[in-house]
C-alpha cells in the first residue's frame, strides 16, 4: 500500500489527521504544516520531545514589541492580570478547538498594537482581525480586562489598571506564545501549554487569583 499523501512511498504509520496510513517522510514534512495533527498523536508527541526551541533568528523581532519594557516588578505586581488574561486565552481556545497558535498570536499582536496606539496617541483604533475565531478570542480578552477593572473598583473603590499595564501584559503573552509555538502553521503547542495551566476539570472553579504562578513557570 502506498502513502495516502504522496502516493509514492510505502505507508508505515497511521495518521489520524488524514484517517489513513502515510509514510514517515510525509509525516515529518507535513506535520502541523498541511496536517492538522491532533494533540494526542503519538508521532506528534514524540517529535515534540526531541524538538529544539525556536532560535531567536526564527522569530521576527518586530512581532515581539521589543520597544515595550517588562520589568520584574511589573510581573510581580500584575501577576493576577497575567493569570486572568492567560485564563481568557485558555477559555477561548477550549471553546473553539479549531484555533491554532498562530490565531492566538495574531489576536494578541493586534490587541498589543491597539493598546500601544492608545498609550502613545490616545487613539482607539482597532485593526480588523481576519476570522470570527480570532474576533472571539479578542472579545474574551477584552471582557477579562473589563472584569478586572470592575473587580478593582468593587474592592478598592477605584480602578488603578492603566492601558499601559494591559499593553505590557499582552506583550508578555505575545512573547510567551512565540516562545512556545513550533512556528508551523497548524501548531498547537502554545494552546496545549494554556490547557496545562488551566486543566479542563479545574476551569470552572479555578479563578486567576487562585491559580498561583503557573504561567511564569515552564
Same domain, 20 and 77: no
| Residue range 126-136: mean pLDDT, rounded | 81
Total count of residues recorded for the chain: 218
| Residue range 113-118: mean pLDDT, rounded | 93
Same domain, 123 and 202: yes
pLDDT bucket at 205, cuts 50 / 70 / 90: very low
Cell numbers 515595550 label which residue? 68
Same domain, 44 and 135: no
Same domain, 2 and 79: no
| Residue range 157-182: mean pLDDT, rounded | 93
185: nearest Cα among 100, 58, 72, 87: 100
pTM: 0.84
Same domain, 97 and 38: no
Q: State the Cα–Cα distance between residues 63 and 106, nearest whole angstrom.
A: 10
Same domain, 80 and 147: yes
Q: Which of 2-11, 23-32, 197-206 has the lowest mean pLDDT?
A: 197-206
**Which domain covers residue 161, as residue numbers?**
57-216
Q: Which of 11, 27, 51 is the last residue of a domain?
A: 51
What pLDDT, on a 0 to 100 scale, did the predictor assign at position 212?
42
Total Cβ atoms within 10 A of residue 214: 13
- The grid coordinates listed for 70 are 517588562
Same domain, 24 and 130: no
Q: What is the DSSP string of the chain?
A: -B-TTTSSSBP-EEETTTTEEE-HHHHHHHBTTTB---TT-HHHHHHHHHPPPPPGGGS-GGGGTTTS---HHHHHHTHHHHHHHHHHHHHHHHH-TT--HHHHHHHHHHHHHHHHHHHHH-----PPPSSHHHHHHHHHHHHHHHHHHHHHHHHHSS----HHHHHHHHHHHHHHHHHHS--STT--HHHHHHHHHS-TTTTTT--GGGSTTGGG--
What pLDDT, on a 0 to 100 scale, did the predictor assign at position 129?
74
* C-beta separation of 169 from 81 below 8 A: yes
| Residue range 106-129: mean pLDDT, rounded | 85
Total domains, the chain: 2
Compute the CA torsion angle 119, 142, 170, 109 (nearest 10 deg): -90
- At residue 121, does pLDDT exceed 90? no
pLDDT bucket at 87, cuts 50 / 70 / 90: very high
Same domain, 134 and 105: yes
Amino acid at each position: 500500500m502506498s502513502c495516502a499523501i504522496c502516493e509514492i512511498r510505502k505507508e508505515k504509520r497511521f495518521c489520524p489527521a488524514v484517517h489513513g496510513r502515510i509514510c514517515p517522510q510525509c509525516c515529518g514534512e507535513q506535520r502541523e504544516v498541511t496536517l492538522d495533527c491532533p494533540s494526542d498523536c503519538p508521532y506528534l508527541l514524540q517529535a515534540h520531545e526531541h524538538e529544539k526551541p525556536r532560535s531567536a533568528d526564527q522569530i521576527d523581532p518586530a512581532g515581539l514589541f521589543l520597544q515595550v519594557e517588562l520589568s520584574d516588578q511589573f510581573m510581580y505586581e500584575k501577576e493576577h492580570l497575567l493569570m486572568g488574561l492567560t485564563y481568557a486565552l485558555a477559555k477561548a481556545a477550549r471553546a473553539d478547538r479549531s484555533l491554532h497558535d498562530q490565531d492566538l498570536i495574531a489576536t494578541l499582536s493586534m490587541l498589543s498594537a491597539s493598546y500601544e496606539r492608545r498609550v502613545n496617541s490616545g487613539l482607539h483604533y482597532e485593526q480588523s482581525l481576519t476570522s470570527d475565531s480570532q474576533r472571539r478570542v479578542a472579545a474574551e480578552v477584552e471582557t477579562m480586562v473589563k472584569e478586572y477593572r470592575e473587580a478593582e473598583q468593587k474592592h478598592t473603590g477605584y480602578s488603578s489598571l492603566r492601558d499601559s499595564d494591559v499593553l505590557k501584559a499582552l506583550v508578555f503573552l505575545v512573547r510567551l506564545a512565540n516562545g512556545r509555538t513550533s512556528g508551523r502553521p497548524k501548531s498547537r503547542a502554545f494552546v496545549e501549554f494554556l490547557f496545562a495551566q488551566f486543566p479542563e476539570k479545574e476551569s470552572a472553579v479555578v479563578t486567576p487569583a487562585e491559580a498561583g504562578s503557573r504561567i511564569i513557570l515552564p
